A and B are shown apart, each in its own frame.
Chain A
Amino acid sequence: SQQGEEDPQALSIQEGENATMNCSYKTSINNLQWYRQNSGRGLVHLILIRSNEREKHSGRLRVTLDTSKKSSSLLITASRAADTASYFCATDTAGANNLFFGTGTRLTVIP
């Protein structure tokens, strides 16, 4: 199965701290995306990183991709209470029509 795994499963930090979440996957990918899901809500796209990219930034988000280790990390700097949500990585592979989602990291930012 291509399904990714996020690590840790749950993370609790104080507001202002940085949060790092990791994602590992099993087969070669075209791209990797990170999504956020607030409790009981839909998914919000955060960032897409292509397989030939190693790092990407968007505001307080920094994503890295290491294709040799088949892993990615999402760093949220200067976290806020509003960042509390579940974060999922999703990969796509050549020839596939769908995204493969990981199991998610549940982030809690304590005010």
Chain B
Amino acid sequence: NAGVMQNPRHLVRRRGQEARLRCSPMKGHSHVYWYRQLPEEGLKFMVYLQKENIIDESGMPKERFSAEFPKEGPSILRIQQVVRGDSAAYFCASSSFPSISETQYFGPGTRLLVL
């Protein structure tokens, strides 16, 4: 059973470009969480999605950031018009139950560098 997959593992973008980060949850998991980790810091929650629904996006910046989890395919975190401050590691996690009291399984992350 493959774990949570994220791609690309590393992404370099110039300021103003778009970044698309993909996350495939573990098989059988329908709950996806995105987190951002700045250098030397802990993870900060961004958004929680179930299939075709955004449940909680309270941690997501209001502008330039969007997320989706379509019926088919991976979850996508999209950052438009990237700025240097978007440089960070972006992790997704998945779980099989809606309650986060169950273990979340994390992917290896996508490291975004904005030049």
Contacts and interface: CB of A to CB of B under 8 A. Distances in A.
B100 A42 contact: no
Contact of A3 (B42, B55, B100): B42
Main secondary structure of the interface of B (DSSP, over half): strand
A77 interface: no
B7 to A, nearest CB: 13
B101 A92 contact: yes
B65 interface: no
Contacts of B45: 97-100
A45 B43 CA distance: 14
Interface string A85-108: 000101010001111111110000
A98 B42 contact: no
A50 to B, nearest CB: 8
Contacts of A50: 101
Contacts of A98: 33, 35, 45, 48, 56, 59, 100
B100 A88 contact: no
A31 B100 CA distance: 9
B44 interface: yes
A90 B43 CA distance: 9
Contact of A48 (B41, B103, B107, B109): B103
A90 B59 CA distance: 16
Contact of B104 (A3, A96, A99): A99
Interface residues of A, number: 26
A50 B101 CA distance: 8
A28 B109 CA distance: 29
Given A97-B48, A98-B59, A43 B42 contact: no
B100 A101 contact: no
Interface of B: 4, 33, 35, 41-45, 48, 55-56, 59, 91, 93, 100-101, 103-109, 111
